[in-house]
Structure 1
């Protein structure tokens, strides 16, 4: 039987398991008066709204209830190594304002986080919403994150960010829940929520400046014990001991097959290429060396993913990032199906990202909603509101 707190009732309504007071009574076993009292708290707090009546079969018509997606807004930012996607979304996930920009993550956390705060202020104005309507902030970063503290741990491409108090910094401007996660985790969550909601196990691999992966099992991101799960790019590859990785080690997959590594390899081959995006431009333009390198890199990643697929047995494998629409994907499929057990790939769908650059902000929104409107969080907010007369969220 589900929980019976006010937050649990909101979860039942939000998920569609119950839509009326009578249905809530049947599902939870609570009395009519108890259901009514808890719903009144949710209605007064703005969490719910009444939307009409169900057709009656002879008795009194039932008033329908639904989650109030106008209860507030969510601020999100998906940071890459050299780009950022910021947005204001309503609680249903509709984008109210957004922008893309190219901040330098190497400028350090204080400068970048202040910039994010300024841009969120501006986007709120564009959206016509007030700062006191913000219910939470979701931030994705290109490095391993200890989700419990929101702190980045030893990130190879984020100098100065190690153990920086990101949550505390952002809460100085917006005193709301701030949640931080790895960018690949949020992309995986975004794809699962928006594109593959019925898939019980999904793996997303992002190949851009570096290589990372996100794993979603039963709708929940698997992060490992301290945020290190999915660090695919730093698996050592046999035979590549001379390839130096940005982490300082040699032979890492990211040093062999990331977009940044391929840009370096193409430069050595005689075609100066400054970045992963520029390498993609070379592939798109038909450069034969770039296409060959992309396919070979895909094979190396596919070799590693064969182990991942046999271990996790996912239903969907999503390839995302700069190289997702290139010969790289053909290389991944080639080695993956050669090396993995047929049973592990029999029901596996290998695809590219449907959300593209939006995957990170969709996942960040889902992360915030899943935490801020979890039953225990709602109960805590209701208790705080009742202890502060006149305060209304």
Structure 2
């Protein structure tokens, strides 16, 4: 039985979590859809929705839906009602941003760092930058929703910590979430950058695609998988680590992970740079490889084309297992375009059964350098607006002065 509610004050707002979650997750975009999805009475839905509208958490957009009579306005979370702080740790720089609840960037900054500094020093840098961004965002967006970090390492998502081997030496099992919560006292998410790029690609490019594979080919190689519309992490969060699938041979190259014959050791940016260096070229990173490709150096063209075939070979195995309808290739080496993509396509269509490739699309990513940031924001927002957590969000929001 619905609890009686009077007026549009805090009691109605505190009970409105289910309605807010339906709107935020787009399972309901109108009053009629809220009635159907919630199973509540019309009076209760009206009271709780009015409380959300009055609080500023929800708004009526200019977009309308046909309703059989007068068109009804689409309901949505008010993007300006709050902000999230996100950071993407790269190889030499950290990109940080405050984003609204759409998400869209409100303010951003980039700071240099060195991996050797260790987690305490680097997290202090991030915290200080976050404090400045929060002060700027709060001028217009007020409510601080939470923090989300993107890391270039394997991540145990359930614990929110790095698990080695990784490029972030000294971070293994460090309590990142506890450290950030101690300073900011907000929800914190920590995830691998490739998984976040996968989420961003899915949400911004093809949200209606149920099964998708995203492959990042840069200095290293990794992938993320969308299964039944959701990110698939596996039991320990290690799903998608295709860079360390091994192709053994008599001359298997040594990988950075300490094993022989990994896909990374054959086709990643650092491996191609290694092979170019032995041929007399100055190359250390994936960006150096792309510069040589743009200069049309035959050796660089040949190695990138061969890398495409190697990556296509391992992708074909993944296609046979998960049967995606869309494969997106991103990362620095994707800037070589069809030179890389043609090799991937060649091996996938050659090795996979016709049923798996009949409606398969393989294309290059169009995402910008901020895709991991947007993925971090999407991950956090989906978590805080989920049915199990939205009550805590409203509780914190209700405690703001003037709410």
Q: TM-score, normalised by structure 2?
A: 0.86
CA distance in 2 between counterparts of 1:56 and 1:298 reads 48
Aligned with residue 328 of structure 1, among 336, 340, 345: 340
Tell me the CA shift for residue 133 of structure 1.
2.8
Tell me the CA shift for residue 53 of structure 1.
12
| SS of residue in 1 equivalent to 2:388 | helix
Q: 1:16 to 1:182 in 2, by over 3 A?
A: closer
1:13 aligned to 2:19? no
Give the equivalent residue in structure 2 for 1:360.
372
CA distance in 2 between counterparts of 1:158 and 1:279 reads 23
Q: 1:339 to 1:54 in 2, by over 3 A?
A: closer
Aligned with residue 369 of structure 1, among 376, 381, 386: 381
Deviates more, 1:274-283 or 1:261-270: 274-283
| SS of residue in 1 equivalent to 2:247 | coil
CA distance in 1 between counterparts of 2:246 and 2:65 reads 63
Q: TM-score, normalised by structure 1?
A: 0.89
1:157 aligned to 2:175? no
Deviates more, 1:165-174 or 1:224-233: 165-174
Tell me the CA shift for residue 132 of structure 1.
6.0
Q: 1:136 to 1:343 in 2, by over 3 A?
A: same
Deviates more, 1:182-191 or 1:17-26: 17-26
Tell me the CA shift for residue 119 of structure 1.
2.4
CA distance in 2 between counterparts of 1:91 and 1:122 reads 19
Aligned with residue 258 of structure 2, among 233, 236, 248: 248
Tell me the CA shift for residue 117 of structure 1.
2.0
CA distance in 1 between counterparts of 2:170 and 2:268 reads 23
Would you say how many aligned residue pairs link Structure 1 and Structure 2?
Answer: 387
Q: 1:21 to 1:348 in 2, by over 3 A?
A: closer
After superposition, the CA RMSD in angstroms is 2.9
Tell me the CA shift for residue 358 of structure 1.
2.1
| SS of residue in 1 equivalent to 2:334 | coil
Aligned with residue 233 of structure 1, among 238, 243, 252: 243
Q: 1:16 to 1:228 in 2, by over 3 A?
A: closer
CA distance in 2 between counterparts of 1:81 and 1:266 reads 21
Q: Deviations over 1:201-220 (max 9, x none)?
A: 11111111211111112332
Aligned with residue 393 of structure 2, among 374, 381, 384: 381
Structure 1 gaps of 5+ residues are none
CA distance in 2 between counterparts of 1:56 and 1:212 reads 43
Aligned with residue 294 of structure 1, among 281, 290, 304: 304
CA distance in 2 between counterparts of 1:68 and 1:287 reads 51
| SS of residue in 2 equivalent to 1:357 | coil
